[in-house]
Amino acid sequence: MALRISIFGAGHGGVTAAADMTERGHEVTLHQSANSKNDLSKIEETGVINFNGKPVRIHQFTKDVKEAVQEKDVIMLTIPALAVEPIAEKLAPYLEDGQYILINSASAMSSLRFKRVLNNMKRDVDIKIGETMSLTYASRYNPETNEAKLIAYNKHNLFAAYPSRYTEEMLEVLNRMYDHLKPAKNIIETTLNNGNPESHPGPSILNAGRIDYAGDEFYLYKEGITEHTVNIVHKIDEERQKICETLGFEVLSKSERSVRSGYFEESDSLQEQYNQSPVLKDILGPTDLENRYVTEDVSNGLVLWASIGDEIGVETPVMDSVITLTGVLLGRDYFKQGVTLSKLGIEEADGDRLNTLMEYDHTK
Q: Side chain identity at 65, as an amino acid letter?
A: V
CB of 107 closer than 8 Å to CB of 140: no
Of 94, 102, 186, 95, the C-alpha closest to 136 is: 102
Least reliable range by pLDDT among 158-162, 251-255, 360-364: 360-364
Of 122, 60, 61, 53, the C-alpha closest to 90 is: 122
* pLDDT tens-place string over residues 350-362: 888 899 999 988 7
The string of DSSP letters for 58-108 reads: -SEEES-HHHHHTT-SEEEE---GGGHHHHHHHHGGG--TT-EEEE-SS-S
Domain 196-357 coded CATH 3.10.20.30:
no
- What's domain 4-192's architecture? 3-Layer(aba) Sandwich (3.40)
Q: Side chain identity at 274, as an amino acid letter?
A: Y
Q: Band of the pLDDT at 364, cuts 50, 70, 90?
A: low
Checking if the pLDDT of 363 tops 80, the result is no
| pTM, 2 dp | 0.96
Average pLDDT over residues 169-173: 98
29: phi then psi, degrees, rounded to nearest 5 = -110, 130
Checking if the pLDDT of 349 tops 90, the result is no
* pLDDT tens-place string over residues 60-77: 999 999 999 999 999 999
Average pLDDT over residues 334-343: 97
How confident is the model at residue 362, as a pLDDT?
75
Bridge partners of 288, per DSSP, are none
* pLDDT tens-place string over residues 305-333: 999 999 999 999 999 999 999 999 999 99
How confident is the model at residue 220, as a pLDDT?
97
Checking if the pLDDT of 22 tops 90, the result is yes
* pLDDT tens-place string over residues 192-250: 999 999 999 999 999 999 999 988 999 999 999 999 999 999 999 999 999 999 999 99
- % of the chain residues with pLDDT over 90: 93
Least reliable range by pLDDT among 42-46, 68-72, 164-168, 214-218: 214-218
Q: Band of the pLDDT at 183, cuts 50, 70, 90?
A: very high
Spatial separation of the C-alpha atoms in residues 314 and 321, rounded to whole Å: 15
- Torsion angle of C-alpha atoms 9, 212, 326, 274, degrees rounded to 10: 70
| Domain assignments of the chain as residue spans, ordered by start | 4-192, 196-357
Checking if the pLDDT of 256 tops 90, the result is yes
- % of the chain residues with pLDDT over 70: 100
Checking if the pLDDT of 98 tops 90, the result is yes
4-192 and 196-357, same CATH topology: no
* pLDDT tens-place string over residues 131-140: 999 999 999 9
Average pLDDT over residues 267-285: 96
Of 1, 3, 166, the C-alpha closest to 72 is: 3
